[in-house]
Chain A
Amino acid sequence: MIATLSGIVLASLLGSAHCAGMCGAIATMSLEPARGAGAGSRRAGGGQRARAAVAYHAGRLVSYALLGALAGVVGTLVDMGGDLAGVRRVAGVLASLAMVGCGLGVLLVHAGCAVRWPRLPGVLGGLASRAHRVAWGLPMVWRAGAIGLLTALLPCGWLYVFVTAAAGTGSPVGGAALMAAFWLGTVPALAAVGLGARSVLARVRLRSGVVSAAAMIVLGGVLLWAGAAAPAGAGPACPLCDTPAPSEPSAHAIGSRGRTP
């Protein structure tokens, strides 16, 4: 479990230059004093800014974890269907393959090929726009928290790669944990954006597309291999720590897909 999560943190950290680009603009603005506050806006103290930053990241954590848990539920359902069909750990395999595919697609784009990406439904975009407009009317700290919460609505491919991975865990708790690890990896870069280290990141970001594509492929491969390496016939493994679940439900059963033999 620790190994998987560490891998996620590392991958997220490597690709986080992308996050700085994707969310940096909004993050910076959400830490600014209220719109229309005029010249007096400079008065917003550093303390309030720090609180806003904490709120923003906390908001992101909550929304990522919820998204991960949701993906985990989807994964669970997929796994249940697979179980009925007699196939083990369908979700994990599918997710891993999707990640590898995404990575390859990004590389193709960088090589100059036009790739048709699946698009998010327009309704979601409209909803996100409206939610942002509402959030912008809130007082500073609340606004930052709300913007953080809305991050999950941003149509970010990098984010959805990890959401896919979360679905692959086949457990809501595992999915949430995976997304929390992803969040951890993004914090440094986004915090740096907020603190004005943009110029440094801009240089990193130039190559970020290729780096993140590579990270996707590697991560997908690792997860696929880890799933396949699970001892066959020894019962289902805990998605978090890859140890076979005990046959008796116990305190540890929290994340187990405990189908007792």
Chain B
Amino acid sequence: MTAVAGHTPAIDTGAASAVRPCAHCAARVPRGMIEPGAAEQFCCGGCRAAYHMIMSSGLSACYRLRDRFEPVRAVASGPEAGAADGAAFEGFDSPAYAQRAASGEGDSGLLRVEWVLENVRCAACVWLVERLPRLCPGVAAARLDLGRGVAQVVWDPSRVRLSAVARALAGIGYRPHALRDESARRARARQDRAAVVRVAVAGACAGNAMLFAVALYAGMFAQMEPAHRDLFRAFGLLVTLVCVLWPGRVFFAGAWGALRARSPHLDVPIALAIAVGTAWSVRSTLLGTGEVYSDSLSMLVFVLLCGRMMQRHQQRWACDAVELLLCLTPSIASVVHEAGADGSGGSLRRTPIDAVRAGDLVHVEPGQTFPADGELMPCVGSAGTEIDAALLTGESRPQRVVAGGRVCAGTVNLASAVRVRVTAAGDQTRAAGLMRMVERASRSRPPIVQLTDRAAGWFTVVMIIVGLATLGAWLAIDASQAAARAVAVMVVACPCALGLATPMTISAALGRAARGGVLIKDAAAIERLSSRGTVYFDKTGTLTAGRPRVLRTAGDRRALERAAALDHASDHPSARALRDWAGDAAGAHRVDSARATLGAGVTGVVGGAPVSVGKPTYVYAACPGADRLRWGPGVEAAEREGLSVVLVAERGRVVAMAALGDEIRPDARQAVAALGAKGWSVAILSGDAPGPVRAVADAVGIDAAHSRMSPEDKLARVRDWRPLAGPGQVRVMVGDGVNDAAALAAADVGIAVHGGAEASLAAADVYLSRPTMAGIAAVFRGCRRTVAAVRTNLIVSVSYNVLAVAAAAVGLIGPLGAAVLMPISSLTVLALALRARTFGGPA
């Protein structure tokens, strides 16, 4: 307190200078107020109270400030004030930002950047933001992802600076922030908070306006005095004005941005509606006659804001539903704290995956998915472990990894508990790179979405016209109803549902597909796969399992089991097939010795008897006295079918035969039939010999089978494909992501079933992590259902809008009813979109 006393000004207080001036206002303290001995003197009780209030608020600095005699500088001119705003965007022009955030758009010299925008609210924002090329010359394209509020801007650096583009966006009301920027997250949090405050204020206003309205209605029956009636009306109006001008400001701001961009926006009709209602209420209150909409107006603003907030939440939720990385990696990792140098010991702490950093040590139990890329530590599972890396490499057999070996996020630990030193986490991992490809799909705008976006824009224009026409018509019929009718029409006409329906349905479908192991890189593929045309299948690994199996045997079964035991050491596919066939029986035999001839066969001693197993030529060579005539016809017949034959000789005599072939997938026939039923013609493109190809074709029911095709032949076949029956047909290639890459890329839709997702998605549009024929059929079915869901949602939203507008225009729905119905329609469509059984449903 004494410190503050020191700040009191040395004002000449004349004769009374013995007493300090008032500690608060520095006026002379009247004699009647002097408190002898007090550190602070006050001229009045008010000053005393104010002083204590200021001190208790921690604002003692304001006295220091007051006492500093410093005239305020002259008022700055406009441009300087604007400069502060502009400075925020200068950072976008720096080379460092361009290098970090911008990517080239082909060799056109254009660059592309992604920004998080503020104030993205609804489908009409998409339309507005995509007008950017018209507003800002030098911008080639702008695309807005509604759910995430992320805009993709393609611009020509030689014609326009990026900061100018940012300013243009801010000018129409969407302030951009750099992606992955702290400011973007803060902006989002700030917006959320502001939205809550707005809803709260609007709610309070609406409640109070309601009270006044109730009083007015009650007064109508109880002969209220006109003075009181006017008073209540005035209060109601006051509260409403607060509601319209503060929380309701967002609608006017949105409408203003739209008008500046000269393109229709959802907020235009709403702002118009609120303005009409307010103007009418003010007029009625001042004249003391006519209807006052105070309560309805503030309620309207409240309900609209509530609806908007709900929509925002649901959109975010939908967005998270396609948060694809989460489909592949766990959301929680066990991070080891205070571990020894070799990674052993320490304590485990469950940590959200976002918080895992390079250098952390994570513990992964068998059966768990690795949360990040890293190196295996030598501690716990010193013998290493086995992992399933099918997602990245396409290799579905377990892979052995030893200490020091690399593991990737998204692969599965199969054998034993291990600890991994993280080298890359989050969006730095290989899996994240893969997911970025898929994520881009959810942001790309297939033609059907672009169409509905345009439609939503035009819809808005039409609805404004209808609203104004309603106003005019009702002014002529019954002026007292006109404002309410027009307000109702314009509010209920919101094309939100229309604009949301399609993109949300497709995003949700992409998410569902990803969870089912189907990664879709291009959203347009969904639309194409829902039509009809030709599907080309690669044979090996697609229609067939991709590795040989024992299809039939002849001769001594026990001899074959002994041969399988002999094959124990061999990694040849035929040997593996024989082992698989024999199963546990092979382990019952003791192998005394074995000698393998690479790619031909094995000779050795099993249970004391000499055994040879291998190709016929090898076995015949090993047993010169073998009975060729006896086995010849069987061998030839099998080879004609495209099967490979293994003979077993014991003690110089051929005793058994096994015919090995690539087994056709059991669900192939059914899947091909399902495709045919939906109007697809199916053909096989295979590099194999005609015999086996024909056999497979017959087995699964395909007529057109092309054999002995090199990758180039396949490409030419796909490229030169002509639709069989009219336009609108598409060609689809299903095959190996690596060997058939060219054909996959040339097709309208390439579906990769092999070769690892990473490599496959470079060429193909769709990747199946579980390559079954039923899965392929399910992709087609899912796409068909997605497009059907899109159509349903469009029909629902359009007919809803048309019916509601008609009802509002004739007066069946009031403004408040309209405000309640509008978000309900959007939420209905969102719910339909998210619940649609697109991918992953039953057949």
Q: A-side interface residues toward B, CB under 8 Å?
A: 18, 20-22, 24-26, 28-29, 31-32, 35, 45-50, 69, 73, 76, 106, 108-115, 117, 119-120, 125, 128-130, 132-133, 136, 154-158, 172-173, 193-196, 198-199, 202, 205-206, 208-209, 249-251, 253-254, 256-260
Contacts and interface: CB of A to CB of B under 8 A. Distances in A.
Contacts of B25: 18, 20-22, 24-25, 205
A240 to B, nearest CB: 14
A48 B59 CA distance: 22
Contact of B72 (A115, A130, A195, A199): A195
Interface string B220-238: 0000011100110011001
B14 interface: yes
A202 B62 CA distance: 17
Interface stretch (B76-84, B171-179, B797-805): B76-84
Given A45-B81, A109-B30, A128-B53, A155 B225 contact: no
Interface string B631-647: 00000000000000000
A154 B32 contact: no
Interface of B: 9, 11, 13-14, 22, 24-28, 30-33, 43-47, 49-50, 52-54, 56-59, 61-63, 65-66, 69-78, 80-81, 84, 225-227, 230-231, 234-235, 238, 286-288
A55 B442 CA distance: 45
Contact of A173 (B32, B43, B84, B234): B234
Closest 7 CB pairs of A and B: A21-B25, A47-B81, A109-B32, A29-B62, A155-B49, A46-B76, A196-B71
A226 B45 CA distance: 31
Nearest to B9: A202
Contacts of B238: 69
Given A21-B25, A47-B75, A110 B30 contact: yes
B32 A112 contact: yes
B225 A259 contact: yes
A35 B54 CA distance: 15
B225 A258 contact: yes
Contacts of B54: 25-26, 132
A85 B225 CA distance: 18
Given A24-B25, A206-B13, A155 B75 contact: no
A136 B59 contact: yes
A69 B43 CA distance: 29
A198 B72 contact: no
B66 A28 contact: yes
A196 to B, nearest CB: 4
11 contacts: A35-B61, A48-B81, A111-B31, A112-B31, A133-B58, A136-B59, A156-B50, A157-B45, A172-B235, A198-B66, A208-B27
A43 to B, nearest CB: 8
Contact of A254 (B14, B71, B286): B286
Residue of A49, A198, A260 with most partner-chain B CB within 10 A: A198
A125 B52 CA distance: 9
B224 to A, nearest CB: 12
Contacts of A128: 53
Given A254-B288, A258-B225, A21 B234 contact: no
A141 to B, nearest CB: 11
Contact of B46 (A26, A155, A193, A205): A155
Given A110-B30, A115-B32, A209-B30, 5 more contacts: A120-B49, A154-B50, A249-B288, A254-B288, A258-B226
B80 A47 contact: yes
A110 B31 contact: yes
Given A21-B25, A29-B61, A129-B57, A46 B73 contact: yes
Contact of B227 (A48, A209, A256): A256
Given A47-B81, A254-B286, A22 B45 contact: no
Contact of B33 (A22, A109, A136): A109
B233 to A, nearest CB: 10
Contacts of A173: 234
Given A128-B53, A258-B227, A28 B62 contact: yes
B431 to A, nearest CB: 42
A103 B230 CA distance: 35
Contacts of B63: 25
A253 B69 contact: no
B337 to A, nearest CB: 36
A76 B231 contact: yes
Contacts of A202: 9, 11, 26
A154 B25 CA distance: 13
B718 to A, nearest CB: 61
A117 B63 CA distance: 25
Given A32-B65, A109-B30, A154 B46 contact: yes
Nearest to B287: A251
Contacts of B52: 125
Nearest to A118: B45
